[in-house]
Amino acid sequence: MDRKKWKITTTVVIAIAVLFSAYWIISAKPGAFHDATQLIDKINDVFPQAQAKVIQDTIKLDDKHIVVPFISENDDYGLSYWVWKHYSWKLVYVSTRGLPELWKLGNDPSTYHIVWNLHPDSNVDSLHFYMERHRGYRVSRGIEHYYYPKIQLDEAVSLEGKTYGSMKLWDDWSATIRELTNNQIKKPISFEDKSLAFQNIIISFMYYDRTGEHSTLMKSYSGRSYYNGKIDTEFLFFTEKARLESIEDNYIQVHHSSR
């Protein structure tokens, strides 16, 4: 075999090996998850300030994403976020404050999950989530007039005696986000037009105790967090009943009972 053929053959073999390896990495099923002792050790090794003491549970969001609620030495109720990557489970984010956050597992809104771990002293019995887009009006080039109606969707989730939990974004929520995003792409707004804010989507929450009154989340508001890898999360806004519109007002509202 001459030198040229040898180079070609070697290149082909290497390319096949690389493709096979890449396929094997992507298609390989996740291995067993860590036990409680291992989880505590890894959390405290990556983020010593977490001072994890008790693992409350492991919440599997899908095959490659797991949330682990924990209690710290300082009586903080936190969350750790785990992703299966490169043949092992990686800890990518730790937070000692368990306020609701949105974890985007992928690009499509159907992969979004809301997770939380609230301190029991807050006496929270249920969480109420809201997704809004504010109404707006704009004129483009002095000719085209656009009106954006307010959209408000809401869901209530019972905590059922647990401090922690997760909820996959509801189907109508993900469909609404997808539709608004697609419409925004199809109808681009000029650089000079600053009214793009009307298209913004806000996800917020409120909380109630068993008597139907607001409870305090002071202990859940304090805490620290640490990023140890690539992850896409968003803090949810706390809202108040006074700023939410009633059903008699002129907007689109969808309400569902708790699941």
pLDDT digit string, tens, across residues 68-81: 999 999 999 999 99
Q: How far apart are the C-alpha atoms of 6 and 12, rounded to whole Å?
A: 10
Q: How far apart are the C-alpha atoms of 41 and 83, rounded to whole Å?
A: 17
**pLDDT digits over 133-172, tens only?**
877 776 766 677 777 778 889 999 999 899 999 999 999 9
Q: How far apart are the C-alpha atoms of 163 and 99, rounded to whole Å?
A: 11
The answer on pLDDT for 62 being more than 60 is: yes
Both 202 and 103 in one domain: the answer is: yes
**Cβ atoms within 10 Å, residue 100:** 25
Both 22 and 133 in one domain: the answer is: no
Contact 159, 127 (CB under 8 A): yes
The answer on pLDDT for 38 being more than 90 is: yes
Global pTM?
Answer: 0.78
Total domains, the chain: 2
Both 110 and 12 in one domain: the answer is: no
Is 214 inside any structural domain? Answer: yes
Task: Give the residue-averaged pLDDT of 191-198.
Answer: 39
The answer on pLDDT for 222 being more than 80 is: no
Q: Which domain holds residue 8?
A: 1-28
Instruction: Give the best-scoring range by mean pLDDT among 183-192, 194-203, 220-229.
Output: 220-229
- Bigger pLDDT: 249 vs 119: 119
Q: Which of 76, 111, 124 is nearest to 238 (CA)?
A: 124
Both 239 and 120 in one domain: the answer is: yes
Both 157 and 245 in one domain: the answer is: yes
Is 139 inside any structural domain? Answer: yes
Both 242 and 153 in one domain: the answer is: yes
